[in-house]
Amino acid sequence: MAITDDIDALLPQTQCTRCGYSGCRPYAEAIATSEAHINQCPPGGAATIAALARLLARRELPLNPANGKEAPPLVALIDEEACIGCARCLPPCPVDAILGAPKQMHTVMLALCTGCELCVAPCPVDCIAMVPRASLADAPAAPLPDRNRERFLAHGARAAARAKERAALLHSRKQPAPPSAAGPSAS
């Protein structure tokens, strides 16, 4: 596990899934077992590929174009006038960087946004745009990988707890009603 931890520590923790895995940790596990190449992380780009190559004593590879291209860090911006409050962008955000509720306007907390782009596709009114973080005069610095990992793990724990609560509720609703204490009525 130590090598997986070392690999995971080098990944940017955007949790974007562009590597083909459900997050940075599963990708790190696949690299550690040689199931995946070290060149599948567009957010990490050439710097991450070089760091992984050094760590694992493998040769550097160019970024695999099938996974995307290297680009400046992005953030999501929601056109708050166009947002209909459908809340479809909330569950896919791996770090809970979107604030909002059903039938309410949503907004992105820029200090938390990893630029993963996972919120874009579910939006039925195309009110989410990905823009370079540097293009925003008031944008805070990108969140640190360790904080991204913490928020991702917390997001997953909350989602698992909600699923467990829903399953328990459904199970309780499917239980047969207890028999009546008065017994069958005599007619």
Instruction: Annotate 76-123 with three-state secondary structure.
Output: EEECCCCCCCCCCCCCCCCCCCEECCCCCCCEECCCCCCCCCCCCCCC
CB atoms within 10 A of CB 187: 3
Q: Give the model's pLDDT for residue 182.
A: 59
Q: 177 falls in which pLDDT band (50, 70, 90)? A: confident
Task: Report CA torsion sign: 22, 23, 27, 28.
Answer: negative
**Residue 65 pLDDT greater than 90, yes or no:** yes
The Cα 76–Cα 160 span in angstroms is 25
116-170 per-position pLDDT tens digit: 999 999 999 999 999 999 999 988 999 999 999 999 999 999 999 999 999 989 8
Across the range 12-30, mean pLDDT stands at 96
Give all domains of the chain, ordered by start, each with its CATH number.
Answer: 2-67 (1.10.15), 72-172 (3.30.70.20)
pLDDT at position 23: 94
Is residue 10 a contact partner of residue 51, using CB atoms and an 8 Å limit? yes
pLDDT of residue 56: 96
| Predicted structure pTM score | 0.83
Do the Cβ atoms of 114 and 155 come closer than 8 Å?
Answer: no
